[in-house]
A and B are shown apart, each in its own frame.
Chain A
Amino acid sequence: MSVQQIPIEQPLLEVRNLKKYFPVTNSLGKVTGHVQAVNDVSFHMKKGETYGLVGESGCGKSTTGRTVLRLIEPTEGETLYKGENIYQLKGRKLLDMRRELQMVFQDPYSSLNPRKRIGHILEETLKIHRIGSKQERMDRVMDMLNKVGFQSEQYFRYPHEFSGGQRQRIGIARALMVDPSLIICDEPVSALDVSIQSQVLNLLEEIQDEFNLAYLFVSHDLSVVRHIADRIGVMYLGQMVEEASTDELFAQPLHPYTQALLSAVPLPNPTIKRERITLKGEVPSPINPPSGCVFHTRCQHATEICKKNVPVKRDVAPNHAVACHLYE
Chain B
Amino acid sequence: METKLLEVKNLKTHFNTERGRVTAVDGVFFTVYAGETVGVVGESGCGKSVTAESILRLLDEKSTEYEGEILYKGKNLLTSTINDMQSVRGNDISMIFQDPMSSLNPVYTVGNQIVESIMLHQNVNKKEAYEKATEMLRLTGIPSPEKRIHEYPHELSGGMRQRVMIAMALSCQPKLLIADEPTTALDVTTQSQILDLINELKVKFNMGTVMITHDLGVVAEVCTKVVVMYLGQVIEEADVRSLFSSPYHPYTDGLLKSIPQLTGDRSKKLHVIEGKVPTLHQIPKGCRFAPRCAFASEKCHEEMPELAQADHSRKVRCWHYKEIFQAGEEGPYVSAADSY
CA distance A239 to B283 in the complex (A): 49
Contact B160 A282 (CB under 8 A): yes
Any chain B CB within 8 A of the CB of A165?
Answer: yes
CA distance A144 to B272 in the complex (A): 21
Contact A56 B189 (CB under 8 A): yes
CA distance A283 to B159 in the complex (A): 11
Contact B244 A268 (CB under 8 A): yes
With a 10 A CB-CB cut-off, give which of A163, A197, A267, A283 has the most chain B CB atoms: A267
Q: Mark A249-285, 1 if CB is under 8 A from B, else 0.
A: 0100000000011111111111100001011011100
Q: Mark A224-268, 1 if CB is under 8 A from B, else 0.
A: 101110000000000000000010001000000000111111111
Cβ–Cβ < 8 Å partners of B255 in chain A: 194-195
CA distance A264 to B244 in the complex (A): 20
Contact A194 B258 (CB under 8 A): yes
CA distance A267 to B195 in the complex (A): 13
User: Which of A222, A224, A266 is the one whose CB lies under 8 Å from B192?
Assistant: A266
Contact B254 A266 (CB under 8 A): no
Contact size range, B: 35 or more
Cβ–Cβ < 8 Å partners of A282 in chain B: 157, 159-160
Contact A260 B189 (CB under 8 A): yes
Shortest Cβ gap from A28 to chain B (Å): 21
Contact A195 B272 (CB under 8 A): yes
With a 10 A CB-CB cut-off, give which of A261, A282, A283 has the most chain B CB atoms: A282
CA distance A194 to B195 in the complex (A): 21
Any chain B CB within 8 A of the CB of A201?
Answer: yes
Any chain B CB within 8 A of the CB of A309?
Answer: no
Any chain B CB within 8 A of the CB of A303?
Answer: no
Cβ–Cβ < 8 Å partners of A201 in chain B: 260, 270
- Known contacts A56-B189, A220-B187, A282-B159; is-contact A198 B261 (Cβ 8 Å): no
Query: Could you tell me how many residues of chain A have their Cβ less than 8 Å away from some Cβ of chain B?
Result: 42
- Known contacts A194-B43, A195-B272, A198-B272; is-contact A266 B214 (Cβ 8 Å): no
CA distance A89 to B86 in the complex (A): 65
Any chain A CB within 8 A of the CB of B193?
Answer: yes
Any chain A CB within 8 A of the CB of B266?
Answer: yes
Shortest Cβ gap from B100 to chain A (Å): 14
With a 10 A CB-CB cut-off, give which of B43, B192, B241, B255 has the most chain A CB atoms: B192
Contact A264 B188 (CB under 8 A): yes
Contact A195 B215 (CB under 8 A): no
Q: Which of B18-26, B171-179, B216-224, B297-305 contacts A (4 or more CB under 8 A)?
A: B216-224
User: Which of B187, B195, B266, B337 is the one whose CB lies under 8 Å from A226?
Assistant: B266
Shortest Cβ gap from A207 to chain B (Å): 14
Query: From residue 146 to 186 of chain A, which have CB atoms closer than 8 A to chain B?
Result: 163, 165-166
Contact B189 A270 (CB under 8 A): no
- Known contacts A193-B43, A194-B255, A282-B159; is-contact A266 B241 (Cβ 8 Å): no
Any chain A CB within 8 A of the CB of B167?
Answer: no
CA distance A196 to B192 in the complex (A): 25
- Known contacts A195-B272, A201-B270; is-contact A279 B259 (Cβ 8 Å): no
Instruction: Give the interface of B toward A (CB within 8 A).
Output: 43-44, 143, 157, 159-160, 187-193, 195-196, 214-221, 240-241, 244-245, 254-256, 258-263, 266, 269-273, 276-277, 337, 340
